[in-house]
Amino acid sequence: MLRDSDYPLALGVLTERLNFHRSGPVTTGGFQTFEVDLSEWSLSLTHATPCIWVKEADLLAQPPAQLMLSLRDVARERTWQNAIILLFVDGTVDALRPHVPPTTPKFVFVEREDQRLIAQADSPSRLMLDILMRQVPRAQLAPYESSRPVFGSRFFGRDKEINRIMSHSDRSYLVLGLRRAGKTSLLKEVQRRLNAADPVGRGQTRRFYLDCTVIDSEEEFYRALAVGLDPLHQKELMREGGRATRYRKLMFDRFYSLHGGMITFLIDEIDRLLGRIGDEATLLDVMRSASSDESSGHPKARFILSGFRLAMNASNSRDSAWNFAESMELGSLMRSDVTKMIVGPLGGLRISIENQAGVVRRIHRETAGLPHYIQLYCQGLLELLDHEQRDVLREDDLNYVYQSESFQDYILESFKLEAIPEEKAIVYALIAELGDRQQLYTQRMMDDLLKERGVSLKGDVLDNSCRNLTLAGVFNRVGINYEFAVPIFQQILRETRDVELLLEKSLGEIDINAMLV
Ligand SMILES: Nc1ncnc2c1ncn2[C@@H]1O[C@H](COP(=O)(O)OP(=O)(O)O)[C@@H](O)[C@H]1O
Ligand SMILES: [Mg+2]
């Protein structure tokens, strides 16, 4: 048990009185540092929000500019450069303010008087939030993040998928989703929750994440596992292993005993690896065998794989090489998740929403429920409110984001990057030929339009394209019909691009294997 004087007054109130989880102290650069779990506030503050204690002696020991420089070094050393860092200061901070870094990390001062008030407050959280909001722009304090995978307090929804993975602790899964659907985020969040629910001993790893984007061969795949899980015997493992499947399997037995239990391998972007190795059969065979319980009654490993096109084709083809993993598709978030993503953080930032249900409904519809679109949308709204210094969000404000060039470009660019030629051709043909006249489209309509242009797609290609376009949030399926999911999609395309030309180009790029000839 720490004594009062062993950590800053206000931090003590948060962790002792309010039971926010804390770790530390860890001494870095001569300062005592801590991490506190403030994820409950639904802001950008994570489950390990960094804190540094600046004692009275530190204020006296160095001039303010030097002190701030030392604190920046602490942040570097702890790799907190992109974080919001709470500085609990036993004194006043006016002299320090001019020396805070202009960008990151974001230092938030909690000075002596603030700490005293927090200790006396009926609601220390509320006061702490006041202090944060005075010093950090709301756009930065919000948990929205559109350029990196998200987990912890920045992760929303996907309860069904996560519960499935968590509650069947020895099953393997194949998570299917397009670029930016949230695959990496899901894998990282699962890893975090598994580690929290079942902590492992020192030096042990029972959830191992590997991104295959950087893996070029099967050999390299195994090496990455060996480096991560048994670095001391890496060389032997690779040498003994050779290319024999039997030895590869033994590797998993070894990891199992070394780390005291079954290991969950989170293998991201398996498509990339499959695309590079000619024959996927042996890799899948090893995974199947390592994750089956044939010999011992319980599996040594399980795999949570993520991927899209290759993986999806393979799992569709009922190829038995894949059937060790159950597949799940990542599409849109549910309306209730969208509500959480909008209402929780805005509430935390004390922004009230006029006609909340209407606002949520509209954002859900206009983003097709895709998390990365919602993120951009929310960020745009907060920037607007920050800019105009307002505390009330009105439905009208949504037009500002929806009609902004950057949001529209983002939607079109995502589509262009993601879709393959036959999918593009379908979309461009509908827009070029039918314009606004038609709202619901059948596969027959699509087929006819493409045939008029001399292209006849194979039946399963047409059907798969519609399914992918639905997953990608371009289409909604309505019975046997399809409609554009993001209402302005057609309009932006027609107003800002030469759709006829785009159609011609994509028709020319369709793979011969997708067509009836
Ligand atoms: N569950 C989620 N909650 C909130 N935002 C999400 C979630 N999943 C994805 N996102 C948003 O989508 C973006 C892309 O997610 P990411 O996991 O990198 O996708 P992928 O790995 O499928 O390409 C993230 O930066 C984030 O903005
Ligand atoms: Mg990813």
SS (H, E, C) 412-457: HHHHHHHCCHHHHHHHHHHHHHHCCCCCCECHHHHHHHHHHCCCCE
H helical segments located in 349-404: 356-366, 371-388, 397-402
Cβ atoms within 10 Å, residue 13: 20
Q: Quick check: 311 pLDDT over 80?
A: no
Superfamily of domain 158-329: P-loop containing nucleotide triphosphate hydrolases (3.40.50.300)
Q: Tell me the C-alpha distance between 416 and 423, whole Å.
A: 10
Which atom of ligand 1 has the smallest separation from the CA of 177? 22
What is the per-residue pLDDT across 115-156, written as a single tens digit (0 to 9) for each?
999 999 999 999 999 999 999 989 889 999 988 999 988 999
Q: Which residue has the tokens 């004087």?
A: 5
Ligand 1 center to 511 CA (angstroms): 30
Percent of the chain predicted with pLDDT > 70: 95
Element (H, E) at 174: strand 172-176
Contact 440, 482 (CB under 8 A): yes
What is the per-residue pLDDT across 487-516, written as a single tens digit (0 to 9) for each?
788 888 888 889 999 999 999 999 998 998
Ligand 2 center to 267 CA (angstroms): 10
- Is residue 32 in contact with ligand 1, taking CB distance under 6 Å? no
- Joined together, the tokens standing for residue 128 give 């702490």
Question: What is the predicted pLDDT for the residue at 240?
Answer: 62
- Is residue 134 in contact with ligand 1, taking CB distance under 6 Å? no
Cβ atoms within 10 Å, residue 302: 23
Instruction: State which of 74-78, 331-335, 345-349, 459-463 shows the largest mean pLDDT.
Output: 74-78
- Is residue 158 in contact with ligand 1, taking CB distance under 6 Å? yes
Question: What is the predicted pLDDT for the residue at 1?
Answer: 43
* Rounded mean pLDDT, 171-193: 94
Q: Are strands 106-110 and 22-28 parallel, antiparallel or unpaired?
A: unpaired
Question: What is the predicted pLDDT for the residue at 279?
Answer: 75
Which position has the higher pLDDT, 235 or 337? 337
- Joined together, the tokens standing for residue 481 give 């019909």
When the candidates are 1.10.10.10, 3.40.50.720, 2.30.30.40, 3.40.50.700, the CATH number that belongs to 421-514 is 1.10.10.10
> What residues contact 444, with CB distance under 8 A and at least 6 apart?
none
Ligand 2 center to 151 CA (angstroms): 12
Question: What is the predicted pLDDT for the residue at 39?
Answer: 87
Q: Quick check: 180 pLDDT over 80?
A: yes
- Is residue 124 in contact with ligand 1, taking CB distance under 6 Å? no
* Rounded mean pLDDT, 51-74: 95
* Rounded mean pLDDT, 393-417: 89
Q: Which residue has the tokens 């009208």?
A: 396
DSSP characters over 319-359: -GGGTTEEEEE--PPPHHHHHHHHHHHHHHTT-EETTHHHH
Q: Whose CA is nearest to atom 16 of ligand 1?
A: 182
Ligand 1 center to 177 CA (angstroms): 11
Residue 3 banded pLDDT, cuts 50, 70, 90: very low
- Is residue 324 in contact with ligand 1, taking CB distance under 6 Å? no
Cis status of the peptide bond prior to 64, with omega within 30 of 0: no
* Rounded mean pLDDT, 457-483: 91
Question: What is the predicted pLDDT for the residue at 123?
Answer: 94
Phi-psi region of 374 (alpha: psi -120 to 50; beta: other; left: phi over 0): alpha
* Rounded mean pLDDT, 266-283: 85
Ligand 2 center to 148 CA (angstroms): 9
Which atom of ligand 1 has the smallest separation from the CA of 376? 27
- Is residue 182 in contact with ligand 1, taking CB distance under 6 Å? yes
| Residues lying with their CB under 5 A of ligand 2, a single-atom ion | 184
- Is residue 148 in contact with ligand 1, taking CB distance under 6 Å? yes
* Rounded mean pLDDT, 159-176: 94
Q: Which ligand is nearest to the CA of 211?
A: 2
Q: Quick check: 318 pLDDT over 70?
A: no
